[in-house]
Amino acid sequence: MIVTFILNGQPVSKDLDPSRRLIDVLREDFLLTGAKEGCGEGECGSCTILMDGLPVHACMVLAGQLDGHRLLTIEGLSASGELDILQQAFIENNAVHCGFCTPGMIMSAKGLLLQNPDPTEEEIRTAISGNICRCSDYRQIVMAVKDAAARLRAQGGAR
């Protein structure tokens, strides 16, 4: 099946088995390895990407569902060669621990900030609740998201 979609800002048209999982397509066909497979059941969030600006678990999306959609992966956040404000805030707030959950956590947070540029701590915690971090108590992650939100507001909004 020919599937046409936008991947990290670039139009893509590819012959894909519609039953293949998006996580496999990203990692194997496009060599985008930022999204990690942790559980394969949509429970851990390590494979989170944005689909039309909303967080989705790439292990739960099939290739046949991609047609006409816009996908953004962690690699797409720094496509210009510069880190996204959210990525920078994670580093500066020591919110990157072992790194396994970090791409998915950042993508969930990015989805939140695209919808809500001034989230409360509760809204941040809700937005990242689909992402499991086994190395942290989430305080630094929440601080990083709040920091990024403040920086984005100071610059005039999410990019």
Residue 97 has pLDDT above 90, yes or no: no
Residue 159 has pLDDT above 60, yes or no: no
Query: Mean pLDDT in the chain?
Result: 95
Residue 93 has pLDDT above 90, yes or no: yes
| Residue the block writes with tokens 């507001």 | 153
| Domain range list for the chain | 2-77, 85-154
Note every long-range contact of 77-82, with CB atoms under 8 Å and residues 24 or more positions apart, other chains counting. 77/106, 77/110, 79/8, 79/9
157: pLDDT confidence band, cut at 50, 70 and 90? Answer: low
Residue 158 has pLDDT above 80, yes or no: no
Q: In what order do the strands lie in the sheet with 48-51?
A: 10-15, 2-7, 70-72, 48-51, 54-57
CATH class of 2-77: alpha beta
- Amino acid identity for residue 34 in this structure: G
Phi and psi torsions of 125, nearest 5°: -60, -40
Q: Which of 52-56, 97-101, 104-108 has the lowest mean pLDDT?
A: 97-101
Which CATH number, 1.10.150.120, 3.40.50.2300, 2.102.10.10, 1.10.760.10, labels domain 85-154? 1.10.150.120
The reported pTM is 0.95
Average pLDDT over residues 129-135: 92
Average pLDDT over residues 82-110: 95
Q: What is the pLDDT of residue 137?
A: 78
